Amino acid sequence: MDQQEFPQVETDKEDYAPGETVTISATGFELGSTIKFEIEDDPADPGDDGDVDAYDPIEVTDGGEGDLDGTENGQVVTTWEVPTDNNGTGLGPPDALNATLNLTATGTGADGSFGTADDRSATTTFTDSFPQSFLTTNNLSIDEIQKYLIVGLKSQDNGDAVNLQNGEFGADRDV
């Protein structure tokens, strides 16, 4: 490795809820290289939908458009939104709900190409849980949690509820 930093990838939190934004940082990669971020459900823990989902890869060049740190420094910062539905249908249990997700960042290395000997990669994991705070602070039952997904808080204590069994939006619901 000579003087180079060891490549690493990390997320800003360990656990997220559906619809949350994951901020991803990859560091210690070759200056100006392109990094591909691949996210998929862990086959051993694919979530409530039962599918091992693989999500669209994200490719960002260090210092290029989409690199949120805006400079060529061997680090790429990007974001990924946790799914709110199943397989893009707009319905059903979110793809990653209660799953463990594996995140792999692969850098092209100095040659600018994937699939060659100087590629380098790093991995990490994170999870997508139903927010525990809903359970504890709102005194909801597990039955209710399994039946409804609260997709957005409109105010301090009110949100839209989706019935996970038929995919319909319910009326505004106190949560």
Spatial distance between the Cα atoms of 164 and 20, rounded to a whole number of angstroms: 19
Residue 95 binding Ca ion, by CB under 5 A: yes
Residue 92 binding Ca ion, by CB under 5 A: no
Query: Which residues inside 111-140 make contact with Ca ion, applying CB under 5 A?
Result: 111, 113, 116, 118-119
The DSSP result for 4-33, as a single string, is: PPPPEEEES-SEE-TTPEEEEEEESPPTT-
The nearest distance, CB 134 to Ca ion, in angstroms, is: 21
The one segment of 39-47, 132-140, 147-155, 165-173 that binds Ca ion by CB under 5 A: 39-47
Residue 108 binding Ca ion, by CB under 5 A: yes
Number of residues that bind Ca ion (CB under 5 A): 21
User: Phi, psi (5° rounding) for residue 85?
Assistant: -145, 180
The one segment of 5-13, 15-23, 74-82, 149-157 that binds Ca ion by CB under 5 A: 74-82
Residue 160 binding Ca ion, by CB under 5 A: no
Q: Pick the binder of Ca ion from 30, 62, 85, 128 (CB under 5 A).
A: 62
